[in-house]
Chain A
Amino acid sequence: MTKTPLQFRHNGRDVAVFVDGGVNLLVALRELIGDMTPKFGCGQGGCGACSVLIDGELHLSCLTLAEAVNGRAVETLDGLKDGPNLHPLQRAFMEQFAAQCGYCTPGMLMAAKSLLDRNPSPSRAEVIEAISGNICRCTGYEPIINAVLAAASSGRARA
């Protein structure tokens, strides 16, 4: 099969790979780039575990053709922390015990980041809305909602 050259920004770094036609972004990230932080949950946009940001906008990488991100910027959970310093959302998730098995966590964090990037002071209802495309089996959602609200208020405290 012919392969297509593909170049994009991956967490602030330029990457260039060759992809088979029809390959989705999740597979490209995990198998070609080696970024295992986006998770495969359902492969049909039903669970949100594969969520990434493309040019700052939340997308399901399992439903995105890899070729569609040519020349664009992709952010994954792998790029969230700054060196050894956790992102305020990651710290809040830890402090609020917002992860158990952890499989939904990368997608939850990206959905939450997408929310806080455009709305630094969300209401509880807005947080619920923002993560409603992400399934979690363990936490009952409450600790995740509380973590996002805590991260938002810690961001306000710094500003």
Chain B
Amino acid sequence: MAKHRGRGIASINYPIGMNLGGDPSQALVHSNPSGKFTVSLSSIDLGQGMKSVTRQICAETLGVPVEDVYVDTADSDTGPHCMGSFASRGTHRVGNAVMAAAKEARGVMMEAAAEELEVNAADLETDGRGNIHVKGAPHRSISTKDVAIAAQFKQGKTISGRGIFLVPLSEVNPETGEMSPATCYAHACLVAEVEVDDETGEVAMVRMDSAYELGRALNPRLVEQQLVGGAWMGISHALFETPEPYYPDPTHGPRDFVEYLMPGPGDTCPHDIAVLERPAADGPFGAKGPGEMCANPVLPAVANAIFNAVGVRMDELPITPEKVLRAIKAQGGARPQARR
């Protein structure tokens, strides 16, 4: 009876978003008389940072400070349409829609500024600090606040913009049935190290090392947060949680947080993450999306690590101590594989 260490690897390609009906998201951007901007969305922030990232994208596109942008996701009845916060689509789909809306609003803002400064809009640029000035002549300047006031009360204009992102329809090749359901893929590779107790069947996480390629990381701290939290959920799916019943029938399944097993703070392990940035051609500022994919490679990597440790191939989730123990018994004992 012993504890065996094993290491497993997994790589994934992860398609961003889906293709049903073009997977659309819409955004509206408008300025308030104070010179601040509001982004209206129906895309919900579940804590993954949708508001932060769309705020950054809007501010960067408009050329105004990020403090001057407010993102309103209050109500999906009255907001512009969005398919939802899932499939890792938020940053890519919603971000593209916000970028398009902000681009249109910027055009109106620059026209309004041009009228006030009595110059051609093409000769103007933003300084990113709340001012618009003539290229090469920073003293010929007007604040975005004054432009918003002038547009609203003098010129009778709304500084606003509309944006939508729609995935182009992928034609099916009649000969082969081939099509391209996704426009952009993220990638990841993860190595998991586990310790398997051949007496109890328990699997303990020892460490994880991973590399994620997810386009440009628009907010690196939020990306890291997603990857750390998502890997925990990967551990949970690999080793712990299931809504399926144990014994002897479904009424004995977990009903609540007391019975639904998830890893606690003591069941995690050190996780070293490398983020590789290869900007996506059709992503907002090159972003893809770190959403769901942060959990995905953990499961196969853990299953491979268990094989490496004790020589059993686990093909059913979650990999509970009982399943491991039965498999070890069926092959007549633990058979540690060559260390890789």
Contact = CB atoms under 8 A, between A and B. Distances in A.
Interface of A: 41-42, 44-47, 97, 99-102, 127-129, 131-132, 135, 137-145
Contacts, number: 67
A41 B233 CA distance: 19
B225 interface: yes
Interface of B: 46-49, 221-222, 224-225, 228-233, 256-258, 262, 264-266, 268, 271
A141 B264 contact: yes
A120 to B, nearest CB: 20
Nearest to B263: A141
A137 B48 CA distance: 12
A140 B47 contact: no
B265 A145 contact: yes
Nearest to B230: A140
15 contacts: A41-B257, A42-B256, A44-B256, A47-B257, A97-B222, A100-B46, A100-B48, A100-B229, A135-B264, A139-B228, A139-B232, A140-B271, A142-B232, A142-B271, A143-B228
B252 to A, nearest CB: 17
A141 B225 contact: no
Contacts of A44: 256-258
Top-8 shortest CB links A-B: A140-B232, A101-B47, A100-B47, A46-B257, A46-B258, A141-B265, A140-B229, A42-B257
SS of A interface (majority): loop
Contacts of A139: 225, 228-229, 232
A131 B257 contact: no
Given A44-B258, A140-B233, A132 B264 contact: yes
A97 B258 contact: no
Contacts of A99: 47
Contacts of B49: 100
A62 B262 CA distance: 21
Nearest to B222: A97
A159 B220 CA distance: 33
Contact of B47 (A46, A138, A141, A143): A138
A61 to B, nearest CB: 16
A91 to B, nearest CB: 15
A47 B256 CA distance: 10
A144 B265 contact: yes
Contacts of A135: 257, 262, 264
Nearest to A43: B256
A102 B264 CA distance: 17
A97 B229 CA distance: 11
B223 to A, nearest CB: 10
B123 to A, nearest CB: 42
A23 to B, nearest CB: 21
Given A42-B257, A46-B256, A143 B265 contact: no
A101 B47 CA distance: 4
Given A97-B221, A128-B265, A132-B265, A142 B257 contact: no
Contacts of A101: 46-47
Contact of A138 (B224, B229, B256, B264): B229
